[in-house]
Amino acid sequence: MAVFVDTNVLLYAVSTVPDEREKSATALAILDRDDLVLSVQVLQEFYVQATRATKPDRLAHESAVSLVESWLRYSIVETTVSLVQQALATAARWRISYWDAAIIEAARSGDCAELFSEDLQNGMNFAGVTVRNPFA
């Protein structure tokens, strides 16, 4: 079964910050898999965060775009009205942010039982989508 990857995995994969070397190696190993699912939201968040002016190892626009294009080899979940509605319901049900709920619903939409992320509680099951923190 496919695994959904949150934005932090992509960001660690390109990190050059010395304190993040171990997480970077873990993220790169994850990205070697061929059963990954991403979403449009994850790609957008990656670009915004990777090119942020205050980021110490900021990527140039062209580098970030090249990376986003390279990750299009994975299955990509589109943001749809239905996904937004499902995310709104999930945010209310679990009392989490809309953005986290949208990630969960994109994972569900991509038929993923697992979501690799460090942003949500490790082991938490959101009605069939279980969060796994690969950096824990």
Mutual angle of helices 7-14 and 21-31, in 10-degree steps: 120
pLDDT tens, residue by residue, 20-45: 999 999 999 999 999 999 999 999 99
Which residue ranges make up each domain of the chain?
A: 3-132
Give CA–CA dist 91/111, Å, rounded: 19
CATH superfamily of the domain spanning 3-132: 5'-nuclease (3.40.50.1010)
At residue 1 the predicted structure's pLDDT band, cuts being 50, 70 and 90, is: confident
pTM score of the predicted model:
0.95
